[in-house]
Amino acid sequence: MERYNLPAHWLGRPYYSLDAWFKQEYGCKIYKIALDAGFTCPNRDGRLDSRGCIFCSVGGSGEFAARGSSIDVQLKQGLSLFGEKKTGSRFLAYFQAYTNTYGPLDYLENIYSEALSHPDIMGISIATRPDCLSLEILELLTSLKARYAPKVIWVELGLQTIHEDTACYIRRGYPLSVFTSAMTDLVNHDIPVIVHLILGLPGENEDRILQTVDYINSLSPFGVKLQLLHILKGTDLAKEYEAGKIEVFSKEAYVTLLSKCLTYLSQDIVIHRLTGDGPKDLTLAPYWSLHKREVLNSLHKYLKENHLFQGKLFVEDHSLF
C-alpha cells in the first residue's frame, strides 16, 4: 500500500480543513454565527435583474441568519445557541445573506464595526459579489483591519464556475473578468478571499469543473468552498428540476467528483466547505445532502481507500487544462 506523509498541520485529515487552520492559528475550535444585515442584491432589486441567481432562495442564501434584528442581537442569539459546551471557543461573524457590501459606506462601517468590537468575535467573513467591491469599500475594509487587529476580515466571492455559458444560465450577472479584477484588488489590499464553487451545475462535466479548480489554483486564494448543487424549493432551478430538465448527483457520484477536485487543488488552499448546506425545509433535492456527517464520512472513506489527498495531482502548469 502507498504511504504518504500528509502535512502535520492538517491534523490527520487528507485535506487542509478550516478546522485545522483555526486550531493552528488560534489553538481552539471556532464556530460561525450567520448574520443577516438586511441587504438585498443587485441581482434581485432590479439593478441587474430581479430574479436572482437561478439557485438562490428567497432568503438570499442566508436562511440560517435572523433577518430584522440588530447585529448585536443576532450575535447574542448565535452565542446562546452554541451553549455552554462551547465555552472556551471563539466565534466568527459571517455576513451571509444576500450581498453584504451592497449598501452605503457608513452603514457598512457600522455593522462591520459592531461585529468586530464584540469581545467573543475573532473576525468577520463577508459574502458578496465581485461587482460590489468599490475602491472605497476596499479602503474601508483595510482601515477596519488595522483598527481591529489582530481580528480577521475575510471576503467570500461566489464564482461558481469560470465558464461564461454556465454563468449566463445561472444568471450570475458578471463575466469572469470582473471576478479576476476583484480578486486582484482584494489581494492588493491584503484581504483574504474565499472562493465559492458549485459542483454539478447543468452543462458542467468533470473536465469543465477541473478547469475551474485549476483557475482557482492560479489565483491562490486563502480558501475555497466546494458546494454541491442542491435544489431549493421556490427557486427557478427547482422549476427546471421538476420539469425533468436537470439532474442531481447521487452521493457516490458526488464523493467521486469531490475527491477528484481535491486531488487537483493546491495544498495551500484551505477548504471551508465540502458539500451543500441547505435548510431541511427548503431542500428539494438531493435529500442525502441533508446528512452532512454521512457525506463527509463517505468522502473520508473514499479518499482513504483510494490513497487520495488534497493536491496529490496538483499541476503548477495551468496551461495543461
Residue 236 Cβ, how far from ligand SF4 at the closest point, in Å? 11
Binding mask 42-81 for ligand SF4 (x = CB under 6 A): -xx-------xx--x---xx--------------------
CB atoms within 10 A of CB 29: 12
CB atoms within 10 A of CB 41: 23
Cβ proximity to ligand SF4: between 17 and 275 the closer is 275
Query: What is the radius of gyration, based on Cα positions, of the chain?
Result: 19
- The stretches of the chain forming alpha helices (DSSP H) are 18-26, 71-82, 105-116, 135-147, 164-169, 176-188, 206-219, 236-242, 251-264, 292-305
251 near ligand SF4, rule: CB under 6 A: no
**Three-state secondary structure call for residue 169:** helix
**Three-state secondary structure call for residue 35:** strand
Cell of 22: 483555526
Cβ proximity to ligand SF4: between 53 and 111 the closer is 53
Residue 51 Cβ, how far from ligand SF4 at the closest point, in Å? 8
Q: Which stretch binds ligand SF4 (CB under 6 A): 37-45, 202-210, 217-225, 254-262?
A: 37-45
100 to 159, contacts with ligand SF4 by CB under 6 A? 129, 158
CB 101 within 8 A of CB 144: no
182 near ligand SF4, rule: CB under 6 A: no
Among 30, 35, 41, 186, binds ligand SF4 (CB under 6 A): 41
Spatial CB neighbours of 14, under 8 Å, sequence gap ≥ 6: 6, 262, 300, 303, 304, 308, 309, 310
285 to 304, contacts with ligand SF4 by CB under 6 A? none
Spatial CB neighbours of 314, under 8 Å, sequence gap ≥ 6: 217, 263, 264, 265, 266, 267
Residue 52 Cβ, how far from ligand SF4 at the closest point, in Å? 3
227 near ligand SF4, rule: CB under 6 A: no
Cβ proximity to ligand SF4: between 101 and 217 the closer is 101
Cβ proximity to ligand SF4: between 62 and 123 the closer is 62
98 near ligand SF4, rule: CB under 6 A: yes
Which phi and psi (to 5°) does residue 34 adopt? Answer: -80, 135
Question: Minimal CA–CA distance to 286: which of 229, 234, 217, 246?
Answer: 229
| Positions in the binding site for ligand SF4 (CB under 6 A) | 41, 43-44, 52-53, 56, 60-61, 98-99, 129, 158
